[in-house]
């Protein structure tokens, strides 16, 4: 593994189903993030984690949950998917999350369609 990986690459999901998007990084970064990207809008932060064992809510957290059991993994769960959650989801990581120079590095993304 080099950098950040996400799985699946794409998924079509029936409304009401539960879905977990996986994210793994091998850079030993402390901070990890989940964003969604929709056409015409900037990246919007869903949840973040500044260190293993802690998580925080971003701009659009409703309908999503995360956990950070260890440094490398940061799964995003949709408990009951709705069509408005159709989007491209990016996972990112950074060294600290609490300094100005901290640069975020992105995974390849998961394209999710909820029907």
Partner 1 sequence: GQNIDQPTEMTATEGAIVQINCTYQTSGFNGLFWYQQHAGEAPTFLSYNVLDGLEEKGRFSSFLSRSKGYSYLLLKELQMKDSASYLCAVRDRNYQLIWGAGTKLIIKP
Q: How far is the CB of 39 from partner 1 (least distance, A)?
A: 9
Q: Quick check: 19 and 13 in contact, CB under 8 A?
A: yes
Q: How far is the CB of 34 from partner 1 (least distance, A)?
A: 13
Q: Which is nearer to partner 1, 1 or 101 (CB)?
A: 101
Q: Which is nearer to partner 1, 17 or 112 (CB)?
A: 112
Q: Quick check: 21 and 83 in contact, CB under 8 A?
A: no
Q: How far is the CB of 103 from partner 1 (least distance, A)?
A: 5
14, two tokens? 């029936």
Q: Is the peptide bond before 87 cis (omega within 30 degrees of 0)?
A: no
The contact set with partner 1 (CB under 8 A) reads: 40-45, 48, 58, 90, 97-109
């Amino acid at each position: 593994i080099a950098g950040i990986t996400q799985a699946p690459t794409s998924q079509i999901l029936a409304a009401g189903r539960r879905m977990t998007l996986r994210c793994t990084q091998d850079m030993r970064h402390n901070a990890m993030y989940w964003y969604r990207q929709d056409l015409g809008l900037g990246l919007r932060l869903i949840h973040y984690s500044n260190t293993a064992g802690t998580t925080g809510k971003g701009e659009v957290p409703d309908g999503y949950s995360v956990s950070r059991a260890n440094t490398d993994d940061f799964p995003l769960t949709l408990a009951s998917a709705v069509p408005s959650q159709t989007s491209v989801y990016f996972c990112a990581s950074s060294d600290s999350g609490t300094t100005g120079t901290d640069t975020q590095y992105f995974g390849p993304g998961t394209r999710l369609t909820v029907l």
